[in-house]
Structure 1
Amino acid sequence: MKLAARAGRIIPSPTLAITATAKAMAAQGIDVIDFASGEPDFDTPEPVKAAAEAAIRAGFTKYTPSSGIDELRTTIVEKLQAELGLRYDPSQILVSCGAKHSLYNLAEALFEAGDEVLIPAPFWVSYRDQLLLNDATPVLLETREDEGYAIHPDELERHITPRTKAIIVNSPCNPTGATYDRATLEGIATVALRRDLVIISDEIYDKIVYDGVRHCSIATLGQDVAARTVIINGVSKAYAMTGWRIGYAAGPKSLITAMANIQSQSTSNPCSISQKAAVAALRLDDAFTARMVAEFDRRRRVMVERLNKMPGVSCRIPTGAFYAFPNISRLFTRRWKRGAITSASDLATYLLEEAKVAVVPGEPFGSSAHIRLSYATGMDAILRGLDRMETALQHLD
């Protein structure tokens, strides 16, 4: 059977693959510490569960409008107005099966062969592959670790060609944990306006920030910027609802309508029960998320401090999301029974086999010099995993 060419352009999600491997090892009775999984270890808030149960009892288990129920779209409009001061009509909102699904709908509606899309690197793994699946060309915009992974307008300008159609902005960022301040976003917006670029603003970690950082959406920088920006968000991270699969897009009506038409012919509506749960989540006060972020903050400080004490490892402290992204390049050429460590993938293999610690290598994120560790897991697991990791690094020749 001959497969479509597009199927050969992509690789399976490495984060999901490594998490699945760790879970399979655990199922065999192997004590694996999983730093790969990108989801909060907190339980979904009780009011959200109660809303889902009430929906089931009320028989809200049928098809809904493919773009999402009016109640949820209106609630998203209210959230964007209250938190960002942005005004949208419900017709400018599309509810999908997770933020990843929202991004894929966007790629299908917006890009075609010959289009180039700028992706600041390091980047979330699915950006590149979703573009390739839709015949677009990802163009990596390298950023510097020692500059906090900032995007410089002049560097952005140098990467733009007549084929450049959009730029992806991810703040807070997965995998680096970096956040963009208003000045950085203003620089990006100025170039985007001048060069007629669409701005794709992935804000799924908007509520998970530290050290007094306040999330800034690039869409708030003026009506002209908002008119060419698509905000991608969802309930997965802020409300510990990864398995409920609700994400959304907010943007220009013509684009949202095209995305909705595509969704109507692929998945149709998101889960009816999850939509009711998402309404309850978005109407919660900030108490649940604040408690979760405070605990992430405690873990973040412990993890980064410990990583920086390990031989050959250095790690910037992230200001958002729940990942540490340590630089491990000084370990290259160190050896174990399989030979020299020459890449992040080699080190990830070593840590999984010898220390029973699962981390994600940096190559799929656009960096061979880093690995990603999630601290969205309990402190006991973090301490045990870091102990194992430190011991394993000390045993390298």
Structure 2
Amino acid sequence: MTKKLLIIALTGVSSTMAFAADLFVRNAGAGGAYSTITAAITAASDGDRIIIQPKANGEAYIENLIINKSLTFVSETNYSKYILQGGINIDLAAGRVVTITNLKAVNSINGILSTGAAVGGRTTINILNCELLGVTTTAANTTTNISGCNISGPLQISHGICTANKASFITVYSFEPETSMATSDVEVYGNISTGAIANSQPNYTFKFHNNFCEEFWIRGIKDGSSNEIMNNTVYRPAASNFYPAVIYIGLYNNSLTNTGNLAIMNNAVSFVPGQSNICIQNNHNNVNVTASYNVFTNPFVTQGNMTQSNNVGSANMNFNNTTYTVTGMNENAGNPELKYTDLDLTRNDAGHYGGSNSWVNYWPANVGNKPQINYLSTPRTISSGTLNISGSGFSK
């Protein structure tokens, strides 16, 4: 596939954002501003925006933050991050919305954590264009939307949308019962994981599309759901003995009796064998796995119950986990159906560049300080009727 963007012009689309009040934080309280972020949080009311001035010479605000209101945190200087030395705890509550943008966190073991419980509703946490040491927002009744973030540690959520992030591993789980269910799926699109991408969440359907990672682990599935691992590039350059297969399905805990469907399609994969040379392993007969149009450099070996078609093994492909590219026999090797067509309207390329959710929708995640697309949902086919396209973005 020639890497070209399909541009769609949208008219009549506008958005406005209004905040109850703006509170400023500046070094030493310059200009009558607050001198600490904590002081601004204390003074703020739900719906306020806290505008933080980056300190000179890369100095940090040294404090641990407890966010117990619906607030938005932004940088006072366009395209510049404010630095925090300390952790962030977000207290959960029904209807609470916390948005954090342009934060760089340093010398914090925990990163961003959620604490408490949202009773009688959900908490929404939006994290955009941040540099973090870790994110753990796995409590029940919590939606985390995170995009354009560089995370040196793990990214762990219980529900939400993850796009264009880089983390040491990405996992979706919650061991608590959901009492206020979200109406949307878990969507993990266009991310880099230097380890695995995993799902242990039994409450929501998941879609893992167009990511670059080392392996997939499926430990939970929603009863009666249809899930997707589609158009990902999986490259494991060293042996792993954690699970036998590079794509592993093995339910546990509160998913053991659930039944569901899992489509594994259009993925480009290469791995150094660890415990075994198995490519895809399904350890549970109550998960209906369909594997099709996947391309492996390894001999294509599977284990467990699954329906297979048009998979290729021992293919010649080149992977690069520095530039995050794959070339070779994955080109035009994906499902030829029209709904999986690439952005240049040619047949689907297996791997993270293929299909309508192509990697190029999201990366580079920080290019020329331009606004970042963090979510794009387009129809796979257009025949007649109303064309519905939804998307969102943010300015850096």
**How would you bin the TM-score normalised by the shorter chain?**
under 0.3
Q: TM-score, normalised by structure 2?
A: 0.24
Q: TM-score, normalised by structure 1?
A: 0.24
Q: Which has the higher strand share?
A: 2
